[in-house]
């Protein structure tokens, strides 16, 4: 029943004058607030490039927020450790199984704790690599795969996902830093071509989430 309700909410939010928005997930342990301008910039580009109406500013929610189920799209990022209580872990599982979508963008440093969190949330459904021919990379812009925005250790940018019941519930971008590329041009001094790749990937992510509830 909750999945049906959230899918209905998702369709309502994505198809009414209220506009699309992003809920940034606040968590204990790390700098969940990193790249503060990235999500507003993302929404601006989404509206300009696709015509989809958006609602700003971005909202911030916690796992125990009464408004959680109003927001079908959750965003999580940061550099440090993610700490979830058992109750928050259970709530995240219920939210995702009910139809919610979680996009986690590793800003360099949260990989280990995020992977442990996913084991706790879905012990029987491991993260798997999303191949470059997946619709995620081709639903609006035709991209060769996940773009590399920041070098860090030089590892290749890789997209992972949790897929249950043929639905991508969790998208995890590692060694890429999409959020950094969405920040204002002078924040990280990324070249225009690199920022464009980040914007295109972000647009694809939202379009995919909207069309695969």
Question: Which domains, and CATH codes, for the chain?
Answer: 2-211 (3.40.50.12140)
**Res 154: pLDDT:** 81
Assess contact for 37 and 181: CB atoms under 8 A.
no
Q: What is the mean pLDDT of each run of 10 residues along the chain (213 residues)?
A: 40 58 96 95 98 95 95 96 97 97 95 97 98 98 96 90 96 96 88 96 98 88
Residues in a beta bridge with 73: 101
List CB contacts of 73: < 8 A, sequence separation 6 or more.
20, 21, 22, 23, 100, 101, 103, 206, 209
**Res 151: pLDDT:** 81
Distance CA 106, CA 76 (A): 8
Distance CA 199, CA 44 (A): 10
Q: What is the DSSP letter of 155?
A: P
Residues in a beta bridge with 173: 105, 159
Q: What is the DSSP letter of 156?
A: P
């Amino acid at each position: 029943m909750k999945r049906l309700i959230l899918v209905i909410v998702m369709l309502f939010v994505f198809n009414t004058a209220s506009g699309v928005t992003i809920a940034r997930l606040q968590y204990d342990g790390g700098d969940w607030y990193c790249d503060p301008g990235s999500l507003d910039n993302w929404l601006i580009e989404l509206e300009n490039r696709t015509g989809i109406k958006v609602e700003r500013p971005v909202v911030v929610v916690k796992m125990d927020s009464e408004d959680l189920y109003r927001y079908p799209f959750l965003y999580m990022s940061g550099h440090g450790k993610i700490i979830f209580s058992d109750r928050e872990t259970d709530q995240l599982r219920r939210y995702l199984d009910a139809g919610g979508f979680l996009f986690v963008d590793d800003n360099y440093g949260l990989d280990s704790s995020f992977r442990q969190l996913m084991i706790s949330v879905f012990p029987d459904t491991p993260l798997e690599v999303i191949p470059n021919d997946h619709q995620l990379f081709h639903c609006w812009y035709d991209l060769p795969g996940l773009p590399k925005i920041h070098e860090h250790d030089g590892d290749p940018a890789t997209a992972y996902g949790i897929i249950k019941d043929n639905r991508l519930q969790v998208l995890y971008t590692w060694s890429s830093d999409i959020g950094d590329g969405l920040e204002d041009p002078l924040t990280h001094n990324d070249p225009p071509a690199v920022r464009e790749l980040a914007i295109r990937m972000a647009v694809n992510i939202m379009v995919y989430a909207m069309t695969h509830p």
